[in-house]
Structure 1
Amino acid sequence: MRLHRARCQRCPWKNRPQPEGPRKLRAGIHRTDRYSSFPGAAIGVSNSETLESKNYAIMSGRNGYNLAEEVDSRYARCEIWHFPTMEHSRNHVLSYEMGNPRANRRCQVTGIHGEPALFVANFLPLEQQPDQAVYEYRVEFDPPVESRTIRYQLLDQCHIQEDFGSAFVFNGTAVYVASSTELEGMYIARHPNTNEEINIRLHSLTRLSQNHPQAIICYSIVMKSCMDMIGLKRVGKSHHDDQEKIELKECHIELWPGFEIAIKQCENRLMLCIENRFRVIRTQSVWDIMSYEYERMRQNPKRFHVKMDEMLVGATVCTRYNNKMYRVTSINYEMSPASTFTLLDGSVTTLKEYFENNYNLTVTQLEQPVIICEWKTKQVDCLPCVVYLLPELCFPTGLTDAMRQNFRFMKEFSHHTVMSPEKRRRRTENLLRRIRNNDECRILLLKWGIELTERLVSFHSWELEPEKLIGIHPQGYFGKRADMGRVMHYNGCFRGMHLENWVVVFCNTAMAQDMACQFIEAVKDFGKSMRIAVNHPLLQTCNDTTTSSYHSAVVEAMERMPTLRGRQERGHNRNFISIVRKIVLQMNCKMGGAPWKMNIPVKNAIFIGCYHYCDPMLHGRTDACVSTTDQDYTKFYCQTRSHENSNEPGANLEALRQYFVNNDRTLPEKIFLYCDGVDEEQFSSIKEQGVSLVQQACREAITSSGLKPACHRMKLAIIIVTKNINVRIFKCGADYTFTNPSPGTVVNSTITRPEKNEFYLVPSHVGLGTAKPVCYTVIYDDTGLSPDDHHRLAFKLCHLYYNWQGTVRVPALCQYAFKLASMMSQSVHGEVNKELRGKLFFL
């Protein structure tokens, strides 16, 4: 059903005289393929067209979801209302209800394959009071005030606090209240530092229901205000407790424990996601480091500038006066605190005066340079934002290379930061206890109609069965806890390559020669157990252990060897056999071999892993694609492409021609495209552009192969793989004890989002710390596979990464693409050589 414009005869209600008040125009079930956002758009209508009046809104029942994104739901319940003026619209709660896109095509919660179990996630269900609305006001300051702290002080000064009560939240540009009292108007306040008169105007925007997407953002801001009330400090997106900081004096470091929280719309209700975080703050300021390095470089400006570029450019610094994080772009040694710049109001001020007026800070080092931080805005055709920072007021974050090489320091560092599931549970429960016991938090949550439940959400899900790997014997074998290293050498190699021409490079010393002989014998023994023929290598010596000597030796032997490993051990190494095993497998894979294969029931298909990598040299994006080219899914084809548009996963699908050559001049029936390194904001654009690009590549491949397009159609599935998420899943014991889930744990209910077809998968065993699930979002699928098939397929693909004797977090093709994109972007800055595209040369 399609919504037509006013002249359409099928919609006579649009030509009738309009009453003065709001009225319902139409209600019912509308078939929908795409959704648009209010105002001025028809939501829940196929091929929605812009309505002639902007005073239209979508009204519905209990649950509201973000309709600005495309979903796969086929039907939605909606009511279309018309408001003569926006004053009428403010008296109606803006909400909407959407059908679950997975309701008709999701398998049962217990799953078909695997064992059911009880799990707990780091989500806390929220109880909401009915008939509670949220009101939004836009705040304008004249003249503009840049400091968020000063803005908040101005609002508090002009007695708006008494009108709002405690049920208001200010995010820097807007005020959200839970009271229906009209607050629109002009207010006058005085700047707390300069005593300048500031005019503050509040503009009423809209009234939102509890489950409206904007209201959910308001609730997240409320919860972050509760974090402020209990004494936590905001640093970036997370809150940290500086009172419980851990000092590592050896490296001048402080560890600030904290949390990152967000309220999300899950399957049935709103939930609070709580993730533990640690912030590494250096106790030395950037100016202290500069002063030390300047003396260390014997006051040589040229060497000092080079050293500072190596240490600071690209690093992240923290400014404690506003607890924000900035990435350093460059250092300007010609600027100083006395340098001037123009404010938004057109006035000119110095950096020293700016920090004194806005943050009440005194700058003491007047000869220090200025740190410049730039980043691109999301708006098109806008200049990059530039921020000037003073080294005296900045503190580096993170660990340096020297710290990572310090074994004692890293052991102590991991002792504090690597947390078991039980430790995470205790810290989370302690946070919730602090919020519940705080009177201000209780009053604030009560006025916003929110109540925290007692326990984290628990649910039943299932663990997939262990996957069987096939080596030289067809009966296959299983790896305990998805670890194949201990049993792999007993079962041989699925496809071993004859190691004929290879070189071992070592230093010309007695100890190095002895180690080289031991290494060669171990390689031959392990190759024999893996059914890999190994010839005696060419021995290449170098004079010493310097990089230049090894480089000269490599250049001499490069034409005769497919791969190279140079390593020198001092004394006995207990991991010698493990090192030899990994080197042999890596050489075998680089030459086209495969240590094992998986029994994947999907036939006549091609699997593609795509990774979007940001290339700092080309100032754009590099797409790397790795695809399978055989029916065993153990041969791969690699390619890269650099471009500005990062939403083109189908632009590198030349592998279809390689598949056509390797499979008796036939094309695949199904294409599975797994995309990694993609932001959530790009999902809709990838669906729009990616599907059309892949389908265009399929049509070109069919035409070039001489097949008839009407007789051959390739089905497509596009799955987005997201690793960096805040979701944590724990297996719950009988006495409410948390442990890490087993490999193959799948969750596709309770904590998933209703507007997306997604599931979480834990593919690997984690012995130290907490397991991190990976989110899979199916944005397009016409292959006919059930969700249960997608779960098993993703788990199987995590076993095919040959550079690790176990499972990896993402499908192996995505991991291959990541390795390829990293190498080509950081070192080559170009595309893959055509002669190497059929080999995993980048391992």
Structure 2
Amino acid sequence: MDPKRPPFPEADQFPLGRARGLVLAKDEPLSRRGRGLGLPEVPIQFGRGIIPSVASPPVGMARGVQFPLEEAGFGRARGLLLSSPEPTVGMGRGAVMEARASLETKRSAEVKEKMPELQVEVPPIVPKGPFGTGSSLVSMFRGMGIEPAKTWGRGAAPIGHVAAGDVGLDVQPKPGVVETLSMPQKKKEHQLDESVSFMGRGFAGFGRAAMPQMTVGRGPISSSHPVPHFAAPFSSSTPLVSEDAPIPPETAPKVEVKIETVKEPLEKIGTKGNPVAIGSNYIPICCKNDSVFQYHVTFSPNVESMGMRFGMMKDHRPTTGEVVAFDGSILYLPKRLEEVVHLKSERKTDNMEITIKVQLTKILPPSSDLCIPFYNVVLRRVMKILGLKLVGRNHYDPNAVVILHKHRLQIWPGYSTSIKHTDGGLYLVVDVSHKVLRNDSVLDFMNLIYQGSRESFQDECTKEFVGSIVITRYNNRTYRIDDIEWSKSPKDTFTLADGTKKLWDHHKGTGPTTADPSSQREVITGEILLLPELSFMTGIPEKMRKDFRAMKDLSMHINVGAEQHTQSLKKLLHNINTNNEALSELGRWGLNISQEILVTKGRTLPNETICLHSASFPTSPTVDWSREVVRDSSISTIPLSCWAVFFPRRASDQAEELVNTFSRIAGPMGMRIERPIRVELRDDRTETFVKSIHSQLTSEPRVQLVICIMTGNRDDLYSAIKKLCCIQSPVPSQAINVRTISQPQKLRSIAQKILLQINCKLGGELWTVNVPLKHLMVIGVDVHHDTSKKSRSVMGFVASLNRVTFQMPNEEIINGFRVCLLAALQKYYEVNHAFPEKIVVYRDGVSDGQLNTVEHYEIPQVLKCFETIPNYQPKLAFIVVQKRISTTLYSYGADTFGTPSPGTVLDHTVTNREVDFYLMAHSIRQGCGLPTHYVTVYNTANLTPDHLQRLTFKMCHLYWNWPGTIRVPAPCKYAHKLAFLSGQYLHSEPAIQLSEKLFFL
């Protein structure tokens, strides 16, 4: 406590009331509590201002100024106006008095310059006779600069200006003259000021304490006697009561009920292109309820156990109803209760009575985002009612299983479902899903591994199974294997709550068991131990993925066309709408699912023109220009004069034939190729390749390209070659599998594709499209997780130097965004002699839950880069690219559904209330239309929806590793390839010498 703080008055002194400031008559024994205390017969008031001597009239501690007691005036107040026997008071920032004419002009001029105008509408006040004859009124005025003909407040509070002076001025206003603005009087010149307290001078001011016979304010208005100053504030914690205005008994504060409104979607619809009818896997949902009511539930005394909370709320279903969604503190109901409901429950552990307070906090529209989670819970119940099994996050039908005996696989058809709120309202999104299971158990795979490698059996099993997903057929649950417990077997025992039980006996009855239990080891998933015999592998085996015929048989059942896709959706909708139990479950929340899928209007963007060195052509309906690109020269080609080919001895014939084919086809493609340096290796070991390449690069530093012909798919060899050529001795490299070039009838087309890829890696440019935006830089960003260090991520960053060339720094994490961007801007300046005026960033690999992170973390990094360059403020558009979405599009015509054509865009109804759109840029030969979702998070480049959509479609034409359109913009694809190479094989940043080439293709 401050030692200078004045003592608090004794309890037997006059009772005080509570207010923000009151003016009391001189003979009135009571005053109210303000921010300081005022007692008529006690010479001290407590505030934040000054304190007078004992002989002086009672004053408070104020931040304002003082004037002689006989002067009539008032200070700034938030308080009440009292009846006519008391001095006339009002509400303002000071007192009104007559000042000397010599001061009026000077102070008025200063005040007009300093005071802001009040921008608040003032309600008219009708006076009822002389001011002060009415009852006490509460005023809430806070403004300044009021014209002297208006009053403002919750009562008829007169508002006046204050006459003020500076130190050393002797102001002698006439006592007793107060001008009130609610009564017409002779107009006077006024001056207005606010100032701090000055000792020994007569001033009008405001403070924080109420004062008898004076106006109510934030401080007292006192005599001009010198008063000592206390800087320490003082506040009272003793409740004070006034007979004039008794305080009502304490009641609980009323919680304001908020009504959530649905935001209108933004204007984001483009106009370019041809209108087409588009179907989608969105099914409209109607909600019969007008509102959903949110309540806050509190337990007194507090109940920590969530299970106990749920049990107590379940006991009060007669009050809340059977339809509830409760998470432990927030309760959602489709019906409205009283604003505050008190319930009683008994805690079973100690028989203590618990008071449950249920208070209404918010009224939600049925399509609110807060309602979506428990709508999806209802949907999961409906899927269970239909007999579908939940495996992972999707539901499958084990009764409709498809068995592929030849490949020992099972395919479970099913659905991926969710309820979303989009621009068009509430929709059920349904996608067809398939679960691939193997007929072989984990034990079967263990036996195969044991037969192949007995010495390293445990290591091979760990490598094969850890991280894999298995399913137990007895409960249809999936698990991820974390480890294998070699020290345990099914004959071991474990303890349950009811005693000790053998694990083997525990699993009896869960399925057929034929193996010797003592020979099995336990598979660990978290804290769960699984039997290998009862655990079945899921997913497609890696060996099968490389088998073309096996994948073709599998894709016939998995990659369903648009018509089959929609038929599966309609079958699910029919099952829901014909099942009374499912309809009853939906009806509890007032949900009604339509039986028809959504059909709306979209657009097909205009076809682009592909430009080569001396030719240009429009794209075909299949957006494939593989023939045209090899018939004419590329935009720019790099002569290949010094290059080396490394191959093992058994692949010498294929290597020679490939080099000869290069020589024959290079001319028409505009490339000039010299004979290579041929290096034949005695074997295909990794050490042999690495030593030979390193020796050749050391002896011949002018080598432009290294080509390695490998036997088989060997990741260790590929990784070693890339580390050597990308980090240690930076040079573009090309790895070719000998099987790829072993078929003479396909060698020419394969060699053409390899030559195009080599030209890109050397720094050449293949084709382009017309981009009207000048001085534009396009950036692609993607992140890949490093396989060697799980906690580390690799960011691929690809920025265009001009319309057709790209520059690719690489960073391990997204924190290096600024470093990459500054390097790209510097390189752009070197090439174009100016910085880009517009920058468009395509950011891949971001989910809906990470959009806020992008907006508040990554975009500021980009903006800070511009601050490091003097007088440089480019326009920026930041677009998030999302590929992993559940939206499917179909073309619609003549009552049939098909695959939409490339360039189909949909920017309404199914969009998510952002500046977003769906674009399907690539051609689909088999399956459904899988678009890409683009969300514009930041846009100061003034790019319209048409600009963003067409620019994105153009960028999908510029991936030089594929003569056609791809699913994402080319910079994103390049960034993905770069990040994948660095995170999967290099585990380090590539050499800076390669940063201007597409060496990672």
Q: Name the TM-score class by shorter chain.
A: 0.7 to 0.9
Looking at structure 1, the residues matched to 935 and 545 of structure 2 have their Cα atoms a distance apart, in angstroms, of: 35
Q: CA deviation at 1:768?
A: 1.0
Distance 1:621 1:550, change over 3 A: closer
Distance 1:415 1:355, change over 3 A: farther
Partner of 1:318: 471
Cα distance per residue 1:626-648 (max 9 Å; x no partner):
333433x22221122224xx577
Distance 1:649 1:116, change over 3 A: farther
Contact kept? 1:606, 1:672, Cα under 8 Å: yes
Asked if residue 275 in structure 1 is aligned to residue 431 in structure 2, the reply is yes
Partner of 1:522: 661
Contact kept? 1:648, 1:690, Cα under 8 Å: no
What is the aligned counterpart of 2:528 among 371, 374, 388?
A: 388
Cα distance per residue 1:719-772 (max 9 Å; x no partner):
110000000011101x22111111111111010011x11111101001111121
Cα distance per residue 1:401-448 (max 9 Å; x no partner):
122233332222111101100010000000100111101011122221
Partner of 1:65: none
Looking at structure 1, the residues matched to 320 and 503 of structure 2 have their Cα atoms a distance apart, in angstroms, of: 34
Distance 1:115 1:746, change over 3 A: same
Q: How does 1:190-209 map to 2 (within 5 A)?
A: 209=364
Partner of 1:53: none
Looking at structure 1, the residues matched to 326 and 289 of structure 2 have their Cα atoms a distance apart, in angstroms, of: 24
Contact kept? 2:801, 2:807, Cα under 8 Å: no
Between 265-274 and 427-436, the greater mean CA deviation after superposition: 265-274
Q: How does 1:351-500 map to 2 (within 5 A)?
A: 365=517, 369-373=521-525, 386-392=526-532, 394-473=535-614, 475-500=616-641
Distance 1:621 1:87, change over 3 A: farther
Partner of 2:884: 724
What is the aligned counterpart of 1:784 among 938, 942, 953?
A: 942
Partner of 2:919: 761
Identify, as 1 or 2, the structure richer in strand.
Answer: 1
Query: What secondary structure sits across from 1:685 in the alignment?
Result: helix
Looking at structure 2, the residues matched to 516 and 353 of structure 1 have their Cα atoms a distance apart, in angstroms, of: 59
Contact kept? 1:799, 1:812, Cα under 8 Å: yes
Q: CA deviation at 1:214?
A: 1.9
Partner of 2:902: 743
Contact kept? 1:469, 1:597, Cα under 8 Å: yes
Partner of 2:411: 255
Cα distance per residue 1:115-142 (max 9 Å; x no partner):
1111011000111214253567989999
Contact kept? 1:139, 1:200, Cα under 8 Å: no
- Could you tell me which amino acid in structure 2 is paired with residue 624 of structure 1? M
Partner of 2:233: none
Between 663-672 and 432-441, the greater mean CA deviation after superposition: 663-672
Contact kept? 2:794, 2:983, Cα under 8 Å: no
- Could you tell me which amino acid in structure 2 is paired with residue 118 of structure 1? A
Q: How does 1:313-712 map to 2 (within 5 A)?
A: 313-320=466-473, 323-334=476-487, 365=517, 369-373=521-525, 386-392=526-532, 394-473=535-614, 475-508=616-649, 512-543=651-682, 554-558=693-697, 560-566=703-709, 567-569=737-739, 572-631=743-802, 633-643=803-813, 646=814, 649-650=817-818, 652-700=820-868, 702=869, 708-709=870-871, 712=872
Looking at structure 2, the residues matched to 291 and 836 of structure 1 have their Cα atoms a distance apart, in angstroms, of: 47
Q: CA deviation at 1:289?
A: 3.0
Contact kept? 1:340, 1:348, Cα under 8 Å: no
Asked if residue 830 in structure 1 is aligned to residue 970 in structure 2, the reply is no
Q: CA deviation at 1:218?
A: 1.6
Q: Please say which structure displays the higher CA radius of gyration.
A: 2
Contact kept? 1:622, 1:640, Cα under 8 Å: no
Count of aligned pairs: 716
Asked if residue 238 in structure 1 is aligned to residue 370 in structure 2, the reply is no
Looking at structure 2, the residues matched to 107 and 455 of structure 1 have their Cα atoms a distance apart, in angstroms, of: 25
Distance 1:200 1:406, change over 3 A: farther
Distance 1:804 1:665, change over 3 A: same
Query: What secondary structure sits across from 1:283 in the alignment?
Result: strand
Distance 1:546 1:615, change over 3 A: closer
Looking at structure 2, the residues matched to 738 and 410 of structure 1 have their Cα atoms a distance apart, in angstroms, of: 26
Between 206-215 and 832-841, the greater mean CA deviation after superposition: 206-215
Query: What secondary structure sits across from 1:652 in the alignment?
Result: helix
What is the aligned counterpart of 1:98 among 259, 263, 267?
A: 263
Asked if residue 840 in structure 1 is aligned to residue 998 in structure 2, the reply is yes
Asked if residue 715 in structure 1 is aligned to residue 875 in structure 2, the reply is yes
Query: What secondary structure sits across from 1:284 in the alignment?
Result: strand
Distance 1:320 1:778, change over 3 A: farther
- Could you tell me which amino acid in structure 2 is paired with residue 133 of structure 1? V
Looking at structure 2, the residues matched to 174 and 318 of structure 1 have their Cα atoms a distance apart, in angstroms, of: 35
Cα distance per residue 1:629-673 (max 9 Å; x no partner):
433x22221122224xx5775453133344344335421111111
Contact kept? 2:838, 2:875, Cα under 8 Å: yes
Asked if residue 122 in structure 1 is aligned to residue 276 in structure 2, the reply is no
- Could you tell me which amino acid in structure 1 is paired with residue 876 of structure 2? L
Contact kept? 2:493, 2:502, Cα under 8 Å: no
Q: CA deviation at 1:679?
A: 2.5
Q: CA deviation at 1:160?
A: 8.8
Q: CA deviation at 1:249?
A: 3.1
Partner of 2:383: 227
- Could you tell me which amino acid in structure 1 is paired with residue 751 of structure 2? V
What is the aligned counterpart of 1:304 among 457, 473, 486?
A: 457
- Could you tell me which amino acid in structure 1 is paired with residue 440 of structure 2? Q
Looking at structure 2, the residues matched to 491 and 185 of structure 1 have their Cα atoms a distance apart, in angstroms, of: 85
Cα distance per residue 1:13-71 (max 9 Å; x no partner):
9x999xxxxxxxxxxxxxxxxxxxxxxxxxxxxxxxxxxxxxxxxxxxxxxxxxxxxxx
- Could you tell me which amino acid in structure 2 is paired with residue 413 of structure 1? L
Cα distance per residue 1:261-302 (max 9 Å; x no partner):
11111113101111111112233333443354345433x4xx
Gaps in structure 2 of 5+ consecutive residues: 1-77, 79-117, 123-137, 141-250, 710-736
Looking at structure 1, the residues matched to 889 and 298 of structure 2 have their Cα atoms a distance apart, in angstroms, of: 40
Looking at structure 2, the residues matched to 821 and 487 of structure 1 have their Cα atoms a distance apart, in angstroms, of: 31
Query: What secondary structure sits across from 2:563 in the alignment?
Result: helix
Query: What secondary structure sits across from 2:390 in the alignment?
Result: strand
Distance 1:572 1:745, change over 3 A: same
Contact kept? 1:637, 1:839, Cα under 8 Å: yes
Looking at structure 1, the residues matched to 342 and 599 of structure 2 have their Cα atoms a distance apart, in angstroms, of: 42
Looking at structure 2, the residues matched to 410 and 630 of structure 1 have their Cα atoms a distance apart, in angstroms, of: 40
Distance 1:665 1:403, change over 3 A: same
Distance 1:565 1:287, change over 3 A: same
Looking at structure 2, the residues matched to 688 and 767 of structure 1 have their Cα atoms a distance apart, in angstroms, of: 40
TM-score (norm 1): 0.75
Looking at structure 2, the residues matched to 291 and 142 of structure 1 have their Cα atoms a distance apart, in angstroms, of: 53
Q: CA deviation at 1:208?
A: 5.3
Q: How does 1:173-192 map to 2 (within 5 A)?
A: 178=334
Distance 1:391 1:171, change over 3 A: farther
Looking at structure 1, the residues matched to 945 and 318 of structure 2 have their Cα atoms a distance apart, in angstroms, of: 53
Q: CA deviation at 1:568?
A: 3.0
Contact kept? 1:462, 1:745, Cα under 8 Å: yes
Cα distance per residue 1:652-703 (max 9 Å; x no partner):
3133344344335421111111111122222112111222211111222x1x
Looking at structure 1, the residues matched to 658 and 774 of structure 2 have their Cα atoms a distance apart, in angstroms, of: 41
Distance 1:586 1:340, change over 3 A: farther
Distance 1:370 1:652, change over 3 A: farther
Cα distance per residue 1:355-400 (max 9 Å; x no partner):
969x999999577555455xxxxxxxxxxxx543424454322112
Contact kept? 2:289, 2:334, Cα under 8 Å: no
Between 475-484 and 308-317, the greater mean CA deviation after superposition: 475-484
